[in-house]
């Protein structure tokens, strides 16, 4: 057990106007299980790369441990090989027997190491690489989004596995995973980094209490500043009025006044002006205290949805439906029954490869919304209501290219409104000037979500919309969907999102 000490850390990317980190200091224990929480694009992966020594920075990071990063980068050449053949390349001194022991804890057999890596499913690849990661000794592990694209069963296995380990920083936006696997949180606030004991839920409850206190204190300061300004204005007016009476007076009306009174009036005026200066100093102090209160407060803007009302009650009707790819021996699924009515929010649930995305593409094709043809053999009924308009979020962001303006032009979206929604989803103005391919994965996903929210539709079909999306935006989207109650068909492995949003769950 040792310490990782960060002192005065300051870092910015070349050509950037703002620092990613500025004079940050904190300490963490290498025995802790840390959940790393923060907005998309705020520097979580950057910080992990700083620990790995990939960038130059000001300040110091002192540690006696070796850092190891997940996910490993697997080249195309390595993907053609078995994991057994390349694990020593990605983790020197890796011992295969240790990897096999770790795989058994992940409920997998050793044969995964001896099959071509590219033939493994997403879940199997993740488990193999996690087994390699934890096969070492005395490493402090930096684990970046391990459960993206994993189905519920694989997520549960990974969750239980990580819960049994220690000595890592886990970057994840899955609240259920963070609660199960962490005993401390490392939080990227707007202006600071904080370390707190507990899991996500305990941190979130404390944060809400702190935010409410800060808002209440802020309102109290505002009222005090207003009172002080009013008092200062009145006193200043009295001083000015009094000062004007120093020279000249009516001997009939002010028969008791003499020339010597002028000195008295001057002293009185000076005293009033001194009071005004004291009040102004108090105002400055109150303003300084007030401004410091909300520095780290995360504000989420209220989103809006442009939904349309369809004249039919049943929007999607599927009966005894089966799908098979020409090269496959078995159908993807058979005998599927599904009905989506107005106002329903149905979650498709099942393991990877059970056909959730295939079903969604079939529905898009029937409605004339698919951007590509799917070569499949169908049996049974799959029909959509006539004139059905679908707003779709794809799970894949790899095709996003070009500027925000070009993206809006290609999809007929209003540029100003689109940028407004992205700002509400916490993309900085400077980010909007960049090419989309330069965005983080979470920011790319927000581009797809913003396009969907801006598209008026009868039904919203979202395929794993929350991959890489930060916790604050997830809660923001939950509030939006619960407020507007649109008709939806979606796939999402975030348990808490599914439990809050879905009116029904369809097992595939």
Encode pLDDT of 219-246 as tens digits: 887 787 777 777 777 777 776 776 666 5
How far apart are the C-alpha atoms of 310 and 52, rounded to whole Å?
A: 54
CA–CA distances in Å: residue 212 to residues 152, 225, 439: 35, 20, 32
Q: How confident is the model at residue 252 (pLDDT cuts 50, 70, 90)?
A: low
Strands 168-171 and 377-384, by their bridges, are unpaired
Give dist(CA 368, CA 360) in Å, integer. Answer: 12
* Between residues 426 and 294, the one the model is more confident about: 426
Q: Could you give the C-alpha distances from 321 to 31, 347, 474, 508, in angstroms and in order?
A: 52, 18, 33, 12
pLDDT score of 202 more than 90: yes
Is the alpha carbon torsion for 133, 138, 144, 150 positive or negative? positive
Contact 315/322 with Cβ under 8 angstroms? no
| Cβ-defined contacts of 53-57 (< 8 Å, 24+) | 55/11, 57/9, 57/10, 57/11, 57/21
Cα 454 to Cα 502: distance, rounded to the nearest angstrom: 22
The pairing of beta strand 58-62 with beta strand 3-11:
antiparallel
**Reduced to 3 states, what is the DSSP secondary structure of residue 321?**
strand
Q: Which pLDDT tens digit goes with each residue over 36-66?
A: 998 887 888 889 999 999 999 999 999 988 9
Q: What is the pLDDT of residues 255-308, one digit of tens each?
A: 555 555 666 666 777 777 777 778 778 777 776 666 666 666 666 778 888 889
- Closest by Cα among 367, 308, 305 to 342: 308
Q: How confident is the model over 4-31, as a mean pLDDT?
A: 86
> Residue 19 has what pLDDT?
77
- For residue 362, the surrounding DSSP H or E stretch is helix 356-366
The pLDDT, as a whole number, for residue 150 is 82
* Residue-wise pLDDT tens digits, 471-486: 999 999 999 999 999 9
pLDDT per position as a tens digit, 372-393: 667 788 899 999 999 999 999 9
Strands in 160-233 per DSSP E:
168-171, 184-188, 193-197
The answer on pLDDT for 161 being more than 90 is yes
pLDDT at 306 (0 to 100): 84
Q: What is the mean pLDDT of the chain?
A: 87
Q: How far apart are CA 99 and CA 131, in angstroms?
A: 5
Mean pLDDT of 96-121: 92
* Spatial contact of 135 and 102, defined as CB atoms under 8 Å apart: yes
Tokens of 422: 């992205």
Compute the half-sphere exposure of residue 311: CA atoms within 13 Å on the CB side of its CA.
2
pLDDT at 247: 55
For residue 298, what are the CA distances in angstroms to 81, 322, 424? 46, 46, 12
Q: What is the mean pLDDT of residues 209-213?
A: 84
> CA-CA distance, 246 to 257, in Å (whole number)?
11
Output the CA–CA distances (angstroms, integers) from residue 422 to 45, 70, 121, 151, in the order listed: 21, 29, 33, 28
Q: What angle do CA 326, 329, 330 make, to 5 degrees?
A: 100
| DSSP structure class, residue 72 | P
Closest CA to 221 of 158, 280, 275, 288: 288
The percentage of residues in the chain with a pLDDT greater than 70, rounded to a whole number, is: 91
Nearest to 29 by CA among 206, 181, 197, 204: 197
DSSP state of 301: P
């Amino acid at each position: 057990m040792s310490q990782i000490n960060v002192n005065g850390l300051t870092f910015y990317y070349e050509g950037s106007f703002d620092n990613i980190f500025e004079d940050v200091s904190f300490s963490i224990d290498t025995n802790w299980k840390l959940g790393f929480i923060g907005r998309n694009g705020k520097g979580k992966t950057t910080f992990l790369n700083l620990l790995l020594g990939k960038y130059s920075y000001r300040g110091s990071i002192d540690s006696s441990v070796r850092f190891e990063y997940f996910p490993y980068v697997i080249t195309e050449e390595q993907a053609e090989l078995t994991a057994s053949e390349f694990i020593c390349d990605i983790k020197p001194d890796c011992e295969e027997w240790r990897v096999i022991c770790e795989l058994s804890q992940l409920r997998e057999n050793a044969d995964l190491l001896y099959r071509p890596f590219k033939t493994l499913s997403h879940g199997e690849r993740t488990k193999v690489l996690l087994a390699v990661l934890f096969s070492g000794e005395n490493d402090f592990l930096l684990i970046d989004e391990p459960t993206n694209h994993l189905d519920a069963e694989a997520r549960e296995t990974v969750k239980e596995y990580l819960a049994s380990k220690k000595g890592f920083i886990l970057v994840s936006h899955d609240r259920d995973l963070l609660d199960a696997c962490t005993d401390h949180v490392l939080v990227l606030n707007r202006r600071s980094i904080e370390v707190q004991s507990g899991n996500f839920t305990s941190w979130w409850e404390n944060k809400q209490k702190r935010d409410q206190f800060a808002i209440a204190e802020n309102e109290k300061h505002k009222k005090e500043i207003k009172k002080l300004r009013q008092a200062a204005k009145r006193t200043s007016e009295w001083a000015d009025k009094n000062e004007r009476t120093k020279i000249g007076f009516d001997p009939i009306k002010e028969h008791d006044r003499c020339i010597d009174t002028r000195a008295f009036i001057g002293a009185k005026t000076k005293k009033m002006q001194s009071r005004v200066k004291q009040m102004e100093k108090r105002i400055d102090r109150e303003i300084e205290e007030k401004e410091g209160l909300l520095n780290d407060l995360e504000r989420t803007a209220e989103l809006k949805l442009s939904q349309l009302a369809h004249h039919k009650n049943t929007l999607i009707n599927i009966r005894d439906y089966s799908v098979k790819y020409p090269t496959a021996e078995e159908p993807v699924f058979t005998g599927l029954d599904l009905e989506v009515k107005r106002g329903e929010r149905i979650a498709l649930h099942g393991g990877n490869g059970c056909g959730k995305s295939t079903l969604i593409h079939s529905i898009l094709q029937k409605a004339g919304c698919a951007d590509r043809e799917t070569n499949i053999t169908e049996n049974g009924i799959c029909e959509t209501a006539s004139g059905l308009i679908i707003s779709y979020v794809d799970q894949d962001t790899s095709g996003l290219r070009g500027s925000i303006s070009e993206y809006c032009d290609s999809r007929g979206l209003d540029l100003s409104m689109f940028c407004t929604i992205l700002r509400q989803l916490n993309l900085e103005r400077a980010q909007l000037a960049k090419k989309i391919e330069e965005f983080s994965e979470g920011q790319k996903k927000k581009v797809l979500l913003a396009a969907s929210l801006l598209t008026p539709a009868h039904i919203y079909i979202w395929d794993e919309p929350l991959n890489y999306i930060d916790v604050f935006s997830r809660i923001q989207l939950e509030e939006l969907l619960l407020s507007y109650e649109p008709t939806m068909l979606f796939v999402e492995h975030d348990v808490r999102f599914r439990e809050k949003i879905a009116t029904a769950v369809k097992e595939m």
